[in-house]
């Protein structure tokens, strides 16, 4: 059964003035294009095809708001590959995302979705900087762990943890094998119920 029986899509936004009311609390999910954000959200919410998954990299180009329950939200942020898009588009997204982090009073934490085979990229470092600027806690899901052998996955987690230091916590995750689901949900809930 879903832990979030009332979960529903609220809206997609392409500008700050399209965001839903800034009340209650929400957690942002960020990650490079194709990292596995939508798949991770589906597993955490325990609904197939809840946040759309695509095989086309970068299809999610809007800020997508989901309600988990009364005044508790998840926000799927656009995960562009920095190099791929036009400069004007990159600037638009950069301003939208930094504006989101700077202005959003209900934002309580960042779940950063990282492909365990790629480890941290400049996109991830940029997202962490946005979160740190406003003192938000960060948790990294090293996803697609099923793509690596156990030992390689453990090594990748250690390397990432070493780079992160005390800036963020991290865990292995697999949407395919539903690995790390409970831990991810616990962190999400802790963020959602934390005081501003």
Helix ranges (H only) for the chain are 37-45, 87-103, 122-133, 150-164, 181-192
DSSP 20: P
Taking the complex as a whole, how short is the minimal distance between the CB of residue 43 and ligand GTP, in angstroms?
A: 8
The Cα diameter of the chain in Å comes to 46
The tokens of 89 are what? Answer: 């588009």
Q: Does residue 67 belong to the site contacting Mg ion (CB under 5 A)?
A: no
SS3 content of the chain, % helix, strand, coil (to 5): 35, 25, 40
Q: Does residue 180 belong to the site contacting ligand GTP (CB under 6 A)?
A: no
Beta carbon nearer to ligand GTP, 38 or 67: 38
Q: Does residue 57 belong to the site contacting ligand GTP (CB under 6 A)?
A: yes
Q: Does residue 64 belong to the site contacting ligand GTP (CB under 6 A)?
A: no
- The site string for Mg ion over 165-194 (x = CB under 5 A, - otherwise) reads ------------------------------
Q: Return the ∠ at Cα 46 (arms to 49 and 28), rounded to 5°.
A: 80
Question: How many residues line the site for ligand GTP (CB under 6 A)?
Answer: 23
Beta carbon nearer to Mg ion, 60 or 143: 60
> Which residues in this chain contact Mg ion in the complex, by CB under 5 A?
37-38, 60
């Amino acid at each position: 059964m879903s832990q979030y029986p009332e979960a529903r899509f609220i809206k997609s936004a392409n500008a700050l003035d399209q965001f839903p009311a800034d009340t209650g609390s929400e957690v942002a999910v960020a990650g490079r294009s194709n990292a596995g954000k939508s798949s991770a959200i589906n597993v955490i919410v325990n609904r197939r095809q809840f946040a759309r998954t695509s095989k086309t990299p970068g299809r999610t180009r809007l800020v997508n708001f989901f309600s988990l329950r009364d005044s508790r939200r998840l926000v799927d942020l656009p995960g562009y590959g920095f190099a791929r898009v036009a400069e004007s588009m990159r600037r638009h997204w950069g301003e939208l995302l930094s504006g989101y982090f700077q202005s959003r009073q209900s934002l309580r934490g960042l779940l950063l979705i990282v492909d365990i085979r790629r480890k941290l990229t400049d996109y991830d470092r940029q997202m962490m900087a946005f979160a740190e600027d406003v003192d938000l806690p960060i948790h990294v899901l090293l996803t697609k762990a099923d793509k690596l052998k156990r030992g390689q996955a453990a090594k990748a987690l250690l390397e990432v943890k070493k780079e992160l230091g005390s800036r963020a916590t991290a865990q292995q995750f697999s949407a395919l094998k539903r690995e790390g689901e409970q831990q991810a949900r616990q962190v999400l809930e802790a963020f959602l119920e934390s005081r501003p």
